[in-house]
Structure formats: C-alpha cells, structure tokens
Amino acid sequence: MTKATNRQRLIEGVLALIAFIATIPAANWMIQYVGTVCVPDGPCVIPVAPGVMAPSGVITIGLAFVLRDIVQRRLGLGYSVAAVSVGAAVSSLVAPAPLVLASGVAFLIAELLDLGVYTPLQKHGFVRAAVVSSVVGVVVDSVIFLTVAFGTLDFLLGQVVGKLGMVALTIPFLILLRRRDEARGL
C-alpha cells in the first residue's frame, strides 16, 4: 500500500468517524424539532412510506450503521466502539436526559450487535457485511429506543422502514468504495 493510499484511507476514516459521531446528537435534536407532525410529549415524526410515520431521527441513524462499518474498515474496531460513547456524550448537549439515555442504550447495544455481525462477515464481502449488519442493528436499535424513550412500539414499522431506506441509499456508495479498494489491492 502506498503512502498516498494510506493517507486517503485515513482521511476517509476520519471523515466517516466525524459523521458517525454526529449522527447521534443530530438524531436526538431532530426528534425534538424536525417533523411534519410533532406528537405532544412524543417525537416529531416524518413520513417514511405511504401511511407510515417515524421519528425524524431515522434519517441520521439509518446512515449511522453504515458509517460505523466504514469507520471500522478504515480506522479499526476500537474507533467504532469509542465513537458511540462520544456521540452519546455530545448528544447530552442537545437533548433531554431521558432521550439521551434511550438513544445511547439502544445505539450501544445495536452497534455491538452490528459489530458482531459485520466483523466476521466482512471477510465474505464488504457490501454484504455492511448491509446485513445494518439490518440487525436497525431492528434492535428501533425496538430498544422506542421502548425506553416512549414506552411504546407504535412507530416500530416506521423506524425500521425509515432506517433501512437510508441504508439502501448508501449501497451504491458502498459498492464504489469496495471497487476502489479492490482496484488498490485492499
């Protein structure tokens, strides 16, 4: 691997790390202030499919699962795990404690499961590993977050659909990243 390739990987990793950390506070902020409807004593929601609503944070959290995989691919496992803690800490600056707790616990558990799926699968293909691990993370994160934050699973379908939609939007980028890595012998 050349110096330029190593530098490029580091830059990509750091950018993904910053974006990954930012997804947690961004999601918590959005849930409070961004949506087509804001439920009293509940989240602000957006449509994610015809007749299906979800808390607006699904936009960033769906991206978070893929960003975590890119961070691990570029910087290593330790950075991925540390980023969850940093993101939760930053989130405490923009969201009330119950929301921070719900998102932090849900994200940590989902990310650890995502890691458990992604890490062994990446040997069989980066894109497949990123997508499969994201699906696992999305479902677990949604169930835990909704239960802890709102005491209900009313938005579960919307959470899963919205987050998976964001994961699906990243697939062309993941394919390009994989092809470029393969061309460089990575």
Cβ–Cβ contacts within 10 Å for residue 18, how many?
12
Is the whole model's pTM more than 0.75, yes or no? yes
The domain total for the chain is: 1
pLDDT for residue 17 is more than 90: yes
Cα-Cα-Cα-Cα dihedral of 13, 113, 27, 76, to 10°?
-10
pLDDT at residue 114 in the model? 76
pLDDT at residue 112 in the model? 82
pLDDT at residue 115 in the model? 77
Q: Which domain holds residue 139?
A: 3-183
Q: Is 131 exposed, middle or buried (0-12, 13-18, 19+ CB in 10 A)?
A: buried
Long-range Cβ contact pairs of 145-153 (< 8 A, separation 24 or more): 145/102, 145/103, 145/106, 145/107, 148/101, 148/102, 148/105, 148/106, 149/43, 149/98, 149/99, 149/102, 149/103, 149/106, 150/42, 150/43
- Band (148; pLDDT cuts 50, 70, 90): very high
pLDDT at residue 21 in the model? 93
Residues 172 and 41: their CA atoms lie apart, in Å, by 38
Kindly report, residue by residue over 103-145, the tens digit of the pLDDT: 888 878 887 887 788 889 988 888 999 899 889 989 999 999 9
Q: What token pair was written down for 31? A: 């849930």
